[in-house]
Structure 1
Amino acid sequence: MKRIGVTRTMALTLVGLLVSLMTWAQGDKANRPSPPAMASGKVGAATITINYGSPSVKGRPVWEATSTLAPYGKVWRSGANEATTFETDKDIKVEGKTLPAGKYGFFTIPGEKEWTVIFNKVPNQWGAFKYDQAQDIVRVMAKPAKSAQMNERLVYDVTGKGVVLKWEHVELPIAIQ
């Protein structure tokens, strides 16, 4: 049997090809079906920044108890892919409760008439799979409203009065001072 020699150049080329293949296989986050998005703005003196994955409705039920996207009564990452993060550079009041300056995991529990809005001490996590209620720093309630228009893609707006989550035919305003 003839032995094939591998030169240093061939080995480095092979390693380079493997790294390139792995990078390609993971893909660019911007090419995900639910690409990353960011909303940022001022509420009073505070700068609010929300980072989230922006899923599309694609004809699927979103807010029903049987939905696989954001079912009523279950903790939702409030976006897609990684958990949504909420960051404020100053202490703020969210629906009347104090939230210290910092970066938080942002979760919600959708409901037909009222939602629980959650700011969790663990900002960097995948989805809500390891969500731990013991790590919540603030929980508030907010009332959803019917959106004036269909929002195919999930979007957050930071307004002078707070934050608004918009998706499908629902808007969830969250008051911030």
Structure 2
Amino acid sequence: MKKPNFTHCSFLLALALLISTATFAQEEKPKSPPATATGEINGATITIDYHAPSARGRVIWGDLVPFGEVWRAGANDATTFETDKDIQIEGETLPAGKYSFFIIPGETESVFIFNSVAKQWGAYDYEESKDVLRVTIPSQQTSTMEEQLVYEVVDDGFEVRWEYGKGKAHIE
């Protein structure tokens, strides 16, 4: 029987390291995992696709997400908002379609923006001229900490919550 040589042992060691590295890499969870909120309001199906970052001890509103600046409303790709029927958001018409969704956060009120360019990376190429609808909603403080950004389609609209902040747009 042949004795294993140095080259053979080196190959086996390299293979074992490659397999263990690939295994650990697959177990690492993304810091901002993809998420979807969906629901039906007055016969219209609403779907919000986003990446959900975590607070991880950071101050979010007014710091990580500055007041008065366009924010992609999530992490990575811009958040998308889709409706299969025309809807009324805060009394304004949003035609059926898929939109990128941005927020301009403020201390007392925020602007929700529905932009016609549905596929964008962040807000880097955002163009206000492509906005289909802008609505102003009250910014709210909550006593409940939301560690991870969350969107929720509720009976009369949709909410966005993160850290101690909350915004809700009414849909008819």
Question: Does the pair score TM above 0.5?
Answer: yes
* Matched residue type, 1:105: S
Runs of 4+ residues deviating >2 angstroms:
none
User: C-alpha separation between the residues in 2 aligned to 1:73 and 1:136?
Assistant: 17
Contact 1:156 1:163 in 2 (8 A): yes
Which of 137, 141, 156 is the matching residue for 2:136? 141
SS at match of 1:134: helix
| Pair 1:100 & 2:98 matched | no
Contact 1:147 1:166 in 2 (8 A): no
RMSD across aligned positions (CA): 1.5
| Pair 1:73 & 2:68 matched | yes
Which of 118, 122, 130 is the matching residue for 1:127? 122
Normalised by the length of structure 1, the TM-score is 0.80
Matched residue, 2:105:
110
* Matched residue type, 1:102: G
Deviations 1:80-115 (A, max 9, x none): 010000000000001110000000000010000010
Q: Which moved more, 1:144-153 or 1:154-163?
A: 144-153
Contact 1:89 1:101 in 2 (8 A): yes
How many Å apart are 1:145 and its aligned residue? 1.4
User: C-alpha separation between the residues in 2 aligned to 1:131 and 1:176?
Assistant: 24
Larger Cα Rg: Structure 1 or Structure 2? 2
How many Å apart are 1:61 and its aligned residue? 1.3
User: C-alpha separation between the residues in 2 aligned to 1:49 and 1:147?
Assistant: 25
Normalised by the length of structure 2, the TM-score is 0.83
Aligned length: 148
| Pair 1:157 & 2:152 matched | yes
Structure 1: segments with no counterpart, 5+ residues? 1-23
The alignment-based identity, stated in percent, is 50
SS at match of 1:152: strand
